[in-house]
Amino acid sequence: MNPQIAGVEDLVGTYVFDLRTSHRALKLNRFLWSMIQATSREGFVADEDAFMTAAGLSEAEKTLLRARDWLGLIQHGASFFVLEKFARVAKKTNLEIYAIMRGETFDEFMATRRVPECR
């Protein structure tokens, strides 16, 4: 146990991205990371399933991606910082994804923000 993160497990709705998670979900995160390349974006859009298969993803991972299950992907081990690269391809803004992860509609979420027009 890394003493620097002792206690984080008590914070509900927080998922530590450590080497265990990173190792387990390396292929998924590499797939998400690849979306910084225009050729990968084009390849994914042209044939999602073929692209995911070529990336070596498991059926569970493909299902999460097909469903655009943002919270499920985080819980499975995705790093948000590569997930947001995939979100650009999926045409979702970060604010929309925050709302989904919280289990709220976009309008509900924005109503909790101090300057909802700041987007």
Report the interface residues with other proteins, using CB under 8 A: 2-8, 11-19, 22, 26, 29-30, 33, 35-38, 41, 71, 74, 79-89, 94-95, 98, 101-103, 109-110, 112-119
- Encoding tokens for residue 51? 């692209």
Residue (56 or 116) nearer to other proteins, CB: 116
The DSSP annotation for 64-77 comes to: HHHTT-HHHHHHHT
Cα distances from 28 to residues 41, 62, 92, in angstroms, run 15, 9, 19
Least distance (Å) from other proteins to the CB of residue 53? 20
Least distance (Å) from other proteins to the CB of residue 69? 13
Least distance (Å) from other proteins to the CB of residue 96? 11
Residue (3 or 107) nearer to other proteins, CB: 3
Whether the CB-CB separation of 87 and 94 falls below 8 Å is answered with yes
The C-alpha angle with vertex 84 and arms to 79 and 86, in degrees rounded to 5, equals 100
